[in-house]
Amino acid sequence: MNEIPVLVVGGASVGLTMAAELGTRGVGTVLVEQRTEVNPHPRANAVGNRSMEYFRRWGVDKAITGKGIPADYPADYHWVSSMHGRHLHRLSLPSHAELEQARNSGSANPMDEMYWSPYLKTIVGQQHVERALKDYVQTLDKVDARFGWVLRDFDQDGEGVTAVIERLEDGHVERIRCAYMVGCD
């Protein structure tokens, strides 16, 4: 039976982020995800600034911003009564390129909350975020990322969790003992 500190169940955005943070901090982690590849369908389309700061710390921010809308596109938000209806409100924020230019030129006002982070919302499909996170997680020595695996059963006691995981390709089953199991599925 393998013994590890943390078992992460589910390898989409949340599970990959959990495994990335644990692995970056040197915590032994096994991640199991039933899919072998990232879901290719667009889902969520915006990443908040705090998440992007984590992604920058891990070095995956450029891969994510490079897959979204171009950095020089403005971040305009419109509220309308319907697609052909009345325009109710507009919020215009600077593009990512404009934010960078203001920071680099020294013209950014550090008291303006818009400049507290290098990012506002990054407009990019969730499939691109997951691809960048999966690529990063697979480079971490402390993370054993198992795609094509599923959690079949677990038993919790006062000291941790004993989990049964299965490789879907051939039905191979393993038991894992962990201090913590995190459900991200």
**94-132: buried (b, 16+ CB within 10 Å) or exposed (e) per residue?**
bbbeebbebeeeeebeeeeeebeeebbbbebbbbbbbbb
> For residue 144, is pLDDT > 90?
yes
CA distance 62 to 68: 10
Does any domain span residue 72? no
Please, is 87 exposed, middle or buried when counting C-beta atoms within 10 Å of its C-beta (0-12, 13-18, 19+)?
exposed
User: Given this model, what pLDDT does residue 71 score?
Assistant: 75
**180 part of a folded domain:** yes
Give a yes or no: residue 91 inside a domain: no
Over pLDDT 70: what percentage of the chain? 96
- Domain hosting residue 2, numbered range: 1-42+126-185
Q: Confirm whether 174 is domain-assigned.
A: yes
CB count in 10 Å sphere of residue 165? 21
Q: How many structural domains compose the chain?
A: 1
CATH of the domain at 33: 3.50.50.60
Q: What is the mean pLDDT of residues 140-148?
A: 98
Alpha carbons 153 and 172: distance in angstroms, whole number: 14
pLDDT confidence of residue 111: 64
For residue 85, tell me if it sits in a domain.
Answer: no
Domain contains 185: yes
Residue 6 falls inside a structural domain: yes
Token pair belonging to 136: 């990063």
* 5-57: pLDDT as tens digits: 999 999 999 999 999 999 999 999 999 999 999 998 888 888 888 899 999 99
Three-state DSSP state, 69: coil
For residue 177, being part of any structural domain is answered with: yes
Q: Give the residue among 87, 92, 80 at the shortest CA–CA distance from 120.
A: 92
What's the pLDDT tens digit per position in 88-128? Answer: 999 887 777 787 787 788 776 766 666 677 777 788 889 99
